[in-house]
Amino acid sequence: MHILLIEDDNDAASYVIKGLKESGHVVDRASDGEEGLYMALDSNFDVLVVDRMLPKLDGLNLIEKVRKEKTDIPILILSALGEVDERVKGLKYGADDYLAKPFSFSELLARLEALSRRNQPEASSSLLELGDLKLDLLSRKVEREGQVIDLQPREYKLLEFLLRRPNQVVTRTMLLEGVWEYHFDPQTNVIDVHISRLRSKIDKPFKGKQMLYTERGAGYALRYDE
Amino acid sequence: MNNPFNLASFRLIFIYTMLLSISVGLILTFLYFTSARDIEIEADQKIIKKVEDLNNVYLRYRGNGLISYIRRETSRPSLDIYRLYDANNNVLAGNVTEPNEIKVNDDGWIEFTYQINVNGEEEIYYGRGRDLVTPVENYRLLVGRVVNNEIKLKERFFYSSLWSIILIIFLGISGGYILSRNFLKRISDINITSKKIMDGNLSERLPTTKGKDELNQLSSNLNEMLDRLDSLMTNMKQVTDNIAHDLRTPLNRIRTNLEVTLMSNSDVDQYKKSIDDAIIETDNLIKTFNSILSISKVESGASDLDKSVININDLIMNLFDLYEPITDAKGIILNHDVDEEIKIEANNNLLSQAIANLIENSINYGSSNDAPAITIGAKKNKESVSLWVSDNGVGIQENDKKKVLERFVRLDSSRSLKGSGLGLNLVNSAAKFHNGSLKLLDAKPSGLIVLIEIPNS
């Protein structure tokens, strides 16, 4: 992925750049709003990462200007203002996702991956498929190896969320936001238990072919290895 | 110090005094015209009558008649003045000396002075009268009366009026000064005290007296405000101390961990473990920070946290759904207890977080029973909606109930467990944000019920 990072804090930027490069991405950096706007409009990036409080041009205004020219480029805001109302404001200005500082790097990475794939055309069929796991959106039927799996409504929703992001890391926060629509962090490991329940239905009965992986320190990923 | 003349109260009194003296002046003028002036007019009319009479005397008896009439009239003491001149200005008869300072008014009245020898001393008298000029002999007769008393009366009236007005102004202003100075004294006391408070002596209170006047009310209101501020400050200070402690402890752990790892000749695996530990600690720190921020945001009454009509049944079912697997895994029975459909205007995320905190509290601290059970419930009352989470654990001692609502307070029994001590505080803030209340009740036979009551509409 070709990423433009618009961030004025040199140290923070260098850590993020290092992390992103090690994860195999190409990163350009702008250190103020005007430079960021110029670069964003000048070349083609797969995703923009924008700090909100920037010198010369504020992050939100920058996004507004970028949106006028490039309607479909994914934009993620990084901001120290992390409350729900602030994130709503950010999304209103045209951002696609919002991550509050301090953030965990794996969270940023997972969200960037999700954003960049968002632009890939989604299968028009009503069938979500990964390996031998099939989910029919119309009949709400889930099958693996041709066997029907009986899922609770929430387990179904969780699986759907994961199947729409195959081979991607999905963080706990992303699941809470995407599946439960909660914007707070529970202090207990509620999500882990949901995942292990789902795993016991889609993985356990099918010995030797794990699909739902735990990504240490990051989250989960649904993968199918041939 | 302040000048009482600059005070609003003094200015008010001054204006009032001025208005009062103008009114008094008007009243006195009115009195003069209705009494003194009447007497004068009456006397004037008598003279006019006399002039007519004398004219008749002349028409019938000529000059001699006038002379004898005047002689007869002046033979006995009276206040009437006569002085008769012939055509050559010789005095023919009369009872006064030659008039001086003669002033003839437009309406024919003549004002003059004359002298009278009283016990060898010349005294000046005042007279007022009219001239009668005879047609044939061209005699001129001055008919008038002594107006000394009237003038004295007028003068006395004028001076007493003047003095009363001066007195009113003097008394008014000096009274105003004294009143203002007293008022000023109290204001200045308040000023001095507030200055002391400003300088940091927060225990100072404004002086109050027994009365119930506005100044006293103001002082007691300000005092109550100060009491409230004082308790908030104390609270805040405690919170700051707690924050310092609760954030320092994990920071210290992180630092020591990293430093010691760096010092020892560790292998890569040990480094990784140390860094992992540090990340976990910082994550907890971030969580604590976020909690503090959300609480502050909620408590500041941030209006940008919008409310909408939400379905309480959905809210509870979603939370039930989120927590059921984990309680199940821990052998806790999670129940929900909502019979009817309940709708309320609230912030969904905040209220969900509050209930989630309560459920987590019950999971962490309220599941010591052999058959632990947690219930999430809601009920519609007449004017409010009750939301509660109950468990059958050990509950909370009566004297701890108030304490646990404060920030960072963790009861000794739970210190060993992980947690920030902010959970219930956020629940309390969330209840207040929705204009509601939070109650901690004892469950029968054991356990805790945390009840949030939110007024309808």
Q: Which residues of B touch A102 (CB under 8 A)?
A: 282, 286
- A185 contacts in chain B (CB < 8 Å): 287, 290
Domain B308-455, CATH class in plain words: alpha beta
Does A205 contact chain B (CB < 8 Å)?
no
- Chain B positions in Cβ-Cβ contact with residue A100 (cut-off 8 Å): 290
Domains of chain A: total = 2
B374, containing H or E segment: strand B373-380
Single-letter amino acid code for the residue at A78 = L
Average pLDDT, chain B: 82
* Interior angle at CA B248, CA B243 and CA B254, nearest 5: 140
Return the exposure string of B61-94: e unless at least 16 CB atoms fall within 10 Å of the residue's CB, then b: eebeebbebbeeebeeeeebbbbbbeeeeeebbb
Same-domain status, A110 and A189: no
CA–CA gap between residue B129 and residue B125 (Å, rounded): 13
pLDDT in tens, B257-303: 888 888 887 788 888 888 888 888 888 888 888 778 778 777 776 55
The CA-atom distances, in angstroms, between B415 and each of A146, B43, B410 are: 51, 111, 6
- Residues of chain A with pLDDT below 70 are 119-124, 208, 226
Same domain, A181 and A93: no
Indicate yes or no: CB of B423 within 8 angstroms of CB of A183. Answer: no
DSSP three-state, residue B387: strand
Q: How far, in Å, CA of A74 to CA of B257, rounded?
A: 39
Q: What is the pLDDT of residue A80?
A: 84
As a whole number of angstroms, the distance between CA B423 and CA A198 comes to 29
Distance from CA of A43 to the nearest CA of B (A): 36
**Distance, in angstroms, between B301 CA and closest chain A CA?**
13
For B221-257, write each residue's pLDDT tens digit: 888 888 888 878 887 777 777 777 777 888 888 888 8
Say how far apart CA B373 and CA A128 lie, in whole Å: 39
Could you give the ipTM of this predicted complex? 0.78
Show which of A118, A144, A164 is a domain's final residue.
A118
| β-bridge mates for residue A78, sequence order | A51, A99
Which residues form the domain of A61?
2-118
Q: What is the distance in angstroms between the Cα of A100 and the nearest Cα belonging to chain B? A: 10
User: Of B387, B390, B348, B346, which Cα lies nearest the Cα of B367?
Assistant: B390
**What does each C-alpha distance from A130 to A121, B19, B68 come to in angstroms?**
16, 97, 154
Gap between the Cα atoms of A114 and A116, Å rounded? 6
Whether B375 has a pLDDT exceeding 70, the answer reads: yes
> Given A186, A193, A217, which is nearest B325 (Cβ)?
A193
| Most distant pair of Cα atoms in chain B: their distance | 159
Task: Say which of A83, A183, A193 has its CB closest to residue B293.
Answer: A83
| Phi, psi at B292, each rounded to 5° | -60, -45
Residue with the two structure tokens 């467990």: B417
CATH class for the region spanning B214-299: mainly alpha
Question: What pLDDT score does B412 carry?
Answer: 63
Residue B270 CB contacts under 8 Å (≥ 6 apart), including other chains: B261, B264
Total-model pTM: 0.63
Cβ contact A135:A142 at 8 Å: yes
Q: Which two tokens stand for residue A176?
A: 């809470």
pLDDT at A130: 86
Give the whole-angstrom CA distance, residue B9 versus residue B175: 11
Distance CA B153, CA B130 (A): 22
Residues A35 and A100 in one domain: yes
Nearest of B404, B405, B407 to residue B289 by alpha carbon: B407
Last residue of a domain, one of A118, A148, A165: A118
Closest C-alpha to A135, from A159, A115, A155: A159
Q: What are the structure tokens assigned to B159, written together?
A: 């001076």
Q: What is the DSSP string of chain A?
A: -EEEEE-S-HHHHHHHHHHHHHTT-EEEEESSHHHHHHHHHHS--SEEEEESS-SSS-HHHHHHHHHHH-SS--EEEEES--SHHHHHHHHHTT-SEEEESS--HHHHHHHHHHHHHHTSPPP-SSEEEETTEEEETTTTEEEETTEEE---HHHHHHHHHHHTSTTSEEEHHHHIIIII---S--SS-HHHHHHHHHHHHHTTTSTT---EEEETTTEEEE----
Instruction: Please report which helix (H) or strand (E) contains residue B38, including its range.
Output: helix B36-74
B140-189 pLDDT tens trace: 888 888 888 778 878 888 888 888 888 888 888 888 888 777 777 788 88
Q: Which residues of B touch A189 (CB under 8 A)?
A: 326
Report the pLDDT value the prediction gives residue A121, as an integer from 0 to 100.
Answer: 56
Q: Are residues A137 and A218 in the same domain?
A: yes
What is the distance of C-alpha B58 from the center of its chain?
82
**Final residue of a structural domain among A67, A85, A118:** A118
pLDDT in tens, B198-226: 887 778 888 887 777 888 888 888 888 88
pLDDT, position B413: 61
The rounded percent of chain B whose pLDDT value lies above 90 is 5
Contacts of A188 in chain B (CB under 8 A): 326, 360, 363-364
Residues of chain B with CATH 3.30.565.10: 308-455
Residues A144 and A188 in one domain: yes
Are β-strands A75-79 and A47-51 bridged in parallel, bridged antiparallel, or unpaired? parallel
Verify that A14 and A109 share a domain, yes or no: yes
Fill in the DSSP letter of residue B122.
E
Q: Are strands A212-215 and A219-222 parallel, antiparallel or unpaired?
A: antiparallel
Contacts of A85 in chain B (CB under 8 A): 302, 304-306
Query: DSSP for A44-106?
Result: --SEEEEESS-SSS-HHHHHHHHHHH-SS--EEEEES--SHHHHHHHHHTT-SEEEESS--HH
pLDDT at B2 over 60: no
- Asked if A83 lies within 8 A of B297 by C-beta distance, the reply is yes
Residues with Cβ within 8 Å of residue B152, at least 6 apart in sequence: none
Among A residues 57-86, those touching chain B with beta carbons less than 8 Å apart:
82-85
Q: Do B322 and A180 touch (CB under 8 A)?
A: yes
Same domain for A184 and A143, yes or no, is: yes
Does A141 share its domain with A202?
Answer: yes
The whole-number pLDDT of residue B5 equals 66
For tokens 């670069």, what's the residue?
A39
Range list for CATH 1.10.287.130 in chain B: 214-299
Q: How many residues does chain B have?
A: 457
User: In this complex, do A184 and B364 lie within 8 Å of one another by their Cβ atoms?
Assistant: no
What CATH number is attached to the domain comprising A80?
A: 3.40.50.2300
